[in-house]
Every structure is written in structure tokens, then in C-alpha cells.
Structure 1
Amino acid sequence: MTRSPTQAFSQRYSSGPFTDLETQAVLPGIEINDCGYKIGLNVVDSGALRFCSVRIPRDNLLNRFGDVARDGKYISSLPTINRRFAATLVTIAVRYALLRQQFGPPKESEISVMDYQSHQHKLMPMLASAYAFHFSRAYLVDMYSEMKKTNDEDVTDDVHVLSSGLKSYITSYTAKSISICRESCGVHGYPAVNHFGGLWNDHDIFQTFEGDNIVRCSRLLEIS
């Protein structure tokens, strides 16, 4: 006997339900669509919710990862998600380099791969960047919290600029780092059990979430 278990992360209510509580049919003026099968992140179902002639107060928006300020500006904290990809990648690669031994003086123990300067030059900048991304994320979260409390327009503008810039830089940097970290683990980086393939599939979409990185960088120059 087979079964198809499903995990659903959804919000079926705002100030009221989206579906009829008895029949589960979608209410008039509301459309719910599924985005279909993706190349990654399939444990999270992606869909679209459309309202036609349905009044939605700004305070009732589904705004966990994005919001609309009172002046109409769109704000997103999405780039904070990417810090885990960079940290996971470099952690796998550094641990492997510390454990893996290769070559060495005759009749002596082989040398840890991490002791080779060429390997350090690959991984150490990424390790440092992972810490920088962590602290940048924490700073942005603090600014976002202040913006929500004060509704200060200057803080709102700063959050918009920083989130756009960090999103573009971190996602592009992480995409390049995936390949470098995978290659740093040699043939052992290729099996699925070591997660590089899954990390690539799941991360790839972040380069186009909320807009293409090149477009966002161009927009950043205009507003900064």
C-alpha cells in the first residue's frame, strides 16, 4: 500500500478565509494556482494567489518576506535566506580539506589538503565572506525592525537600498562559490550525498527572486 505525504506551508486566512470552510472551494474573486514541479526546493510548494476586485487592506498582506510601505514602495527581506547556502557550502569544503590528506615528504605522513596555500586561497575568502554575510544580515534585520516600529522614511529608503544590494551580491557570490567548493572536494564533491547538487538546485532560483540581479544593480545605482 502506498501513500503520498505532503507538507503544506500556507496561510489560508487573512482577515477572512480564501476558501469556503465547508466545500473548500475557492471564494469568488480569488484564484489559487500551483507553479508546478521545479528543479529544486520541491519540499516547498510554490503557487500564486490572485485577487480580482477583492479589497485587501495593507495591514492584511501576506508580507512575511516582503511588504509595501505606505508610500507604495516594495520592501523585501528575502536576501537573508541566502546566508545559509554560503555557510553550508564553505563548511562542507573546509571540513573536507582538513580531513583529506594527499602527498607529502617521502616516508612521512601525507599533508592535509588545507595546508596547501592554493587551497587556502580558494576557501579562506569564502569562509570570511560567510561571516560577513551573517553580520550584514543581522544589521539589515535590525534596520528592518526599526523601520516597522518607526515608519521612518529615511530608514525605509536605507532598507530598500541595502536589501537590493545584498540580495544581488550575495546570491551571485554564492552561485560562484558552489562550483569552487564542489571542485575543492575533488571527486568526492560529486555524489549527491555531499549535497552540492541539491544546494545548487535550491539556490539557483535566488538569483532571480524579486528580479534579475543585473536589473536590481542598475536600479540600485539609480536610487542610491
Structure 2
Amino acid sequence: MGVHAFIVPIRDMKTHQTLPGIEIHDCGHKVGLNGVDNGALRFRSVRIPRDNLLNRFGDVSRDGQYTSTLPSVNKRFGATLGELVGGRVGLAYSSVSVLKVAATIAIRYSLIRQQFGPPNQPEVTILDYQSHQHKLMPMLASTYAFHFATTNLVEKYAQMKKSHDEELVADVHALSAGLKAYVTSYTAKSLSICREACGGHGYAAVNRFGSLRNDHDIFQTFEGDNTVLLQQVVG
């Protein structure tokens, strides 16, 4: 009948031991975001009450009859995955915040770092070089554009949650998929560009590019792989 969500107790309320048929595994040390306690669950022949079904999209009566307000398995599957929209909105917005930090670090450094210049003249800041401007100034403009785009998306998402308007739901679904994919891919590439724009100093841990890059990298596959999300936008 499609994908459905259930509430499943995983530990005994008194002993905190895992209940029969349930296994919990830690995902181990990750490339980044190790403050997030990711884990894996495995269920083996675990039975739960019918009332544990989260029945917004489908329900089962006491005599075993299935009913749903959505007409097909595909519709129910889409509605269930639609709950990921909020995560995509948040990731797009958060990715812009990472881009702001990286661009600020690189541009400030470029305004202070001096390198070469005319004979018998003071050295010039590296941001005066066109090659450096070509790296960083379009990125700065894009950061402003992404800020306003994702702020607008957050507002649309808030309206959608209040109104449940179907047209708005479709708009937010497409916008969140497209912006999440585009912005996170852009930021991932920009982090490397910003690191390179700071030369050897950019490789120092104190500059934060390493931690920013490691923590942000998963944004490209969080809440949907970017390649798949772009296919959703054009589908």
C-alpha cells in the first residue's frame, strides 16, 4: 500500500535495554558533523499495535481494511517523502550561511594580504588582481542572491504549513528541491575556491575552511541526493 510511518518503541522504559528483535548500531566516526549522533536500527519480526500507525495518509480499521485519502501508491509515497521538504528548506538556508562565512574569510584576507606590485612601490593587496576578483566577486554577488532566494523560500514554506494550499505545496516542493541542490553544490565548490584564495594560510585549521568543508559536504546528499533532486525539478 506504499510507505507508511509508525511509532516503534526501541527500549524498555525501566531498564533502557533494547527490546526483543531490535538492534541499534552507531555509524562510527564520520568525515564531519560528528556532533550529530547518527545510528542505524534493524528490526527483526517486531510486532506493534495498529494504533502506532501515523495515519495522516492511510489508516487500517480494526477488521483489517485499509483506507487512504490518496488514490495510489505513488501518491502516498510522494506524500510521505514530502515531509523531507522542511529539511531541504533548512539545508538551503544553512548552506548560504556557510557560504557567507567562507566568502567573508577569503575576502577579508584578500584585502589584507599584499603580494608584488609596481617597481619601487608598496605591494598591492591580492584583491586588486583581476584573477582574484574573478574568483571572489561573483561569489559575493551570488551569496547575496542566495540569501534573498532562501529567505523567500522560508517564508513560502511557513505560508504552506499554515494554509496547506496545494499550489503552494507544489511550488515549495520544486523550489526547495532546486535551491537545496544548487546552493549546496555551489557552496561546496566555493569552499575550495575560498581556501585556494587564501593560499597556504587557507590550509591552516585556524582559518576554518577544513571544518567548514567537512561539515558542509554531507549537505549535498542530506534530505535527497542533489542529482535526484534536480531530476525532480524538471520532472
Residue of structure 1 aligned with 2:14, choices 16, 22, 26? 22
Which residue matches 2:169?
156
Residue of structure 2 aligned with 1:118, choices 131, 139, 146? 131
Residue of structure 2 aligned with 1:189, choices 202, 209, 229? 202
Equivalenced residue count is 201
Q: Where in structure 2 are there 5+ consecutive unaligned residues?
A: 1-6, 57-75
Change in Cα spacing, 1:26 to 1:198, as seen in structure 2 (3 Å) is same
Give the Å deviation of 1:80. Answer: 2.1
Which residue matches 2:37?
45
Range 211-220 or range 41-50, more displaced:
41-50
1:84 partnered with 2:76: no
Larger radius of gyration: 2
Which residue matches 1:9?
none
Give the Å deviation of 1:165. Answer: 0.1
Give the Å deviation of 1:107. Answer: 2.7
Question: Which residue identity does 1:195 align to in structure 2?
Answer: R
Give the Å deviation of 1:58. Answer: 6.0
Map Cα deviations across residues 6-48 of structure 1 (whole Å, 9 max, x no partner).
xxxxxxxxx9975434212245676644222101111221124
Give the Å deviation of 1:57. Answer: 2.6
Give the Å deviation of 1:146. Answer: 0.6
- In structure 1, how many angstroms separate the alpha carbons of the residues matched to 2:101 and 2:77? 33
- In structure 1, how many angstroms separate the alpha carbons of the residues matched to 2:113 and 2:159? 46
Question: Which residue identity does 1:174 align to in structure 2?
Answer: T
Map Cα deviations across residues 151-184 of structure 1 (whole Å, 9 max, x no partner).
1111111111000000110111111111111111
Which residue matches 1:168?
181
- In structure 2, how many angstroms separate the alpha carbons of the residues matched to 1:95 and 1:81? 21
Question: Which residue identity does 2:184 align to in structure 1?
Answer: T
1:108 partnered with 2:121: yes
Give me the CA root mean square deviation: 2.7
- In structure 2, how many angstroms separate the alpha carbons of the residues matched to 1:120 and 1:85? 20
Secondary structure in 2 matching 1:38: coil
The structure that is helix-richer by fraction is 2
Which residue matches 2:72?
none
- In structure 2, how many angstroms separate the alpha carbons of the residues matched to 1:196 and 1:127? 17
Q: Where in structure 1 are there 5+ consecutive unaligned residues?
A: 1-14, 60-67
Percent identity (aligned): 56
The one of the two structures with greater contact order (alpha-carbon pairs below 8 A, sep at least 6) is 2
Range 49-58 or range 29-38, more displaced:
49-58
